[in-house]
Amino acid sequence: MTTSTAATGSADDAEALVATTARAARQAQRVLAGLNRERKDAALHALADALTARTEAILAANAQDLERARESGMKPGLIDRLALSTDRIAAIADSLREIAALPDPVGEIVDGQTLPNGLRVRRVRVPLGVVGMIYEARPNVTVDVAALTLKSGNAVVLRGGSAAAATNAAIITVLRDALAAAGLPADLVTTVDPAGRAGATALMHARGLIDVLVPRGGAGLIRAVVEESSVPVIETGSGNCHVYVDAAADLAAAVDIIVNAKTQRVGVCNAAETLLVHRSAASAYLPAAADALWERGVTLHADAAARACLEEQAAAQGRAELLVEATEADWETEYGSLDLAVRVVDTIDDAIAHITAYSTGHTEAVLTQDVTAMNRFVAGVDSAAIMVNASTRFTDGGQLGLGAELGISTQKLHARGPMGLAALTTTKWVVEGEGHVRP
């Protein structure tokens, strides 16, 4: 494997490469499907050890990518996501060992019964087959996805961001060598990076060769894959998440929760972007919430009613610049920054209507001590996750007990919300009879 950069080959060449690569992956997957969990977990440990052992080679390749990135003027945030270090590689290797420790989803009997005619029916979890992955320049995703697909019995065909081409090539070489040394087919992890952008397009049209395509990255990348792909896509979405503070909320807890939801980690999809407050709680809640949020540098984009509660306080504290007028655009924006839209609503139904109009369907929180209000919100909001008296930041595979996370789905088919290993499987019906025929 060469450390080719973003070569833009012809579409025909890319199609040929994708077809050859996907067929090799399919062969490898069939071998893997016959192996039990012990073999898969041993391979994951071997991959972890190999990554640590070959840290120097990976860092050398990463240095090439970083140099190119700096020359091309890449933003510091993106450079940080591209950069590896000995510690980061060790952390990535540890995450492989954690995936090895998770239960194997393959073979789980999802349900089953014996029918009146004596047929014994069960549905068994099996791998999807060959997973395609299109992602941006984050080398940790290369390892992450290879490990998740291996654990769930799948092969993966990768197409990484071209800015990470040298790093990815080095990592993939390490992974393939380690697979072969562990007695598994190297083609469980393959790449179409040498075909450049045309490789991504060819992956999207490799229906029948690729069983499912998972885009991981920004909203633009995901939308492009969803629109273009004829291969089924598992969409990982963006999050315009809301926190609603009800008339009957525990206001002290509600301050802690909005601070956590907004500021505990900015720029992640489960951070809160809009705070909705019931009118009867506004004058008691908003000043306390604003104090705590302003202290952490959060700018509030507030509607007229919220500003009326806060303007005097902002002026008195010399924080007028942290209180600005909300516009329609604020309700739609996933800031990913220390900004929060704030709106006062007259009823819980108005809160639900606002969420219905503007949410991306990721996570919304209701803060209330009132059972009727809780039930109304849980039933009325159509999002992947509803938090009751808890921070939106809990929508995460690790936090919700799934172990490793493939991403957070905001689509409704196949997987919704945090996706664990089971999202990389399908089921097979197995029906056993004794010469049964249909009457």
CB of 110 vs a copy of itself, minimal distance in Å: 10
CA of residue 100 relative to chain centroid, distance: 20
Q: How many CB atoms lie within 10 A of CB 7?
A: 17
- Residue whose CB is less far from a copy of itself, 139 or 418: 418
- Residue whose CB is less far from a copy of itself, 212 or 281: 212
Is residue 256 part of the contact set for a copy of itself (CB under 8 A)? yes
- Residue whose CB is less far from a copy of itself, 129 or 161: 129
Is residue 238 part of the contact set for a copy of itself (CB under 8 A)? no
- C-alpha pair distances (Å), 418 with each of 28, 150, 235, 378, 396: 28, 19, 11, 18, 6
**Residue from 49, 98, 177, 250 in contact with a copy of itself (CB under 8 A):** 250
Q: Are strands 189-191 and 155-159 parallel, antiparallel or unpaired?
A: parallel
Is residue 101 part of the contact set for a copy of itself (CB under 8 A)? no
Instruction: Report d(CA 8, CA 197) in Å as an integer.
Output: 6
Is residue 113 part of the contact set for a copy of itself (CB under 8 A)? yes
Among residues 349, 124, 363, which one has the least CA distance to residue 242? 363
Instruction: Report d(CA 280, CA 346) in Å as an integer.
Output: 8
Contact of 131 with 146, CB cutoff 8 Å:
no
Is residue 158 part of the contact set for a copy of itself (CB under 8 A)? no
What mask of x and - would describe binding to a copy of itself in positions 22 to 41, judged by CB under 8 A?
-----------xx-------
What mask of x and - would describe binding to a copy of itself in positions 330 to 369, judged by CB under 8 A?
----------------------------------------
Q: The tokens of 25 are what?
A: 């992956």
- Residue whose CB is less far from a copy of itself, 188 or 387: 387
Tell me phi and psi for residue 344, to 5 degrees: -95, 130
Is residue 263 part of the contact set for a copy of itself (CB under 8 A)? no
Q: How many residues are recorded in the chain?
A: 439
Among residues 271, 279, 277, which one has the least CA distance to residue 255? 277
CB of 299 vs a copy of itself, minimal distance in Å: 21
**Residue from 64, 238, 313, 427 in contact with a copy of itself (CB under 8 A):** 427
Is residue 382 part of the contact set for a copy of itself (CB under 8 A)? yes
Q: Residue 124, SS3?
A: strand
Instruction: Report d(CA 249, CA 282) in Å as an integer.
Output: 11
Q: How many CA atoms lie within 13 A of 237 on its CB side?
A: 20
Number of residues that bind a copy of itself (CB under 8 A): 65
Contact of 284 with 251, CB cutoff 8 Å:
yes
CB of 228 vs a copy of itself, minimal distance in Å: 9
Is residue 400 part of the contact set for a copy of itself (CB under 8 A)? yes
Which spans of this chain sit near a copy of itself (rule: CB under 8 A)? 33-34, 113, 115, 119, 121, 123, 126, 128-129, 207, 211-212, 226-227, 230, 232, 234, 250, 253, 256-257, 259-261, 264, 378-380, 382-391, 393-395, 399-401, 411-414, 416-418, 426-438
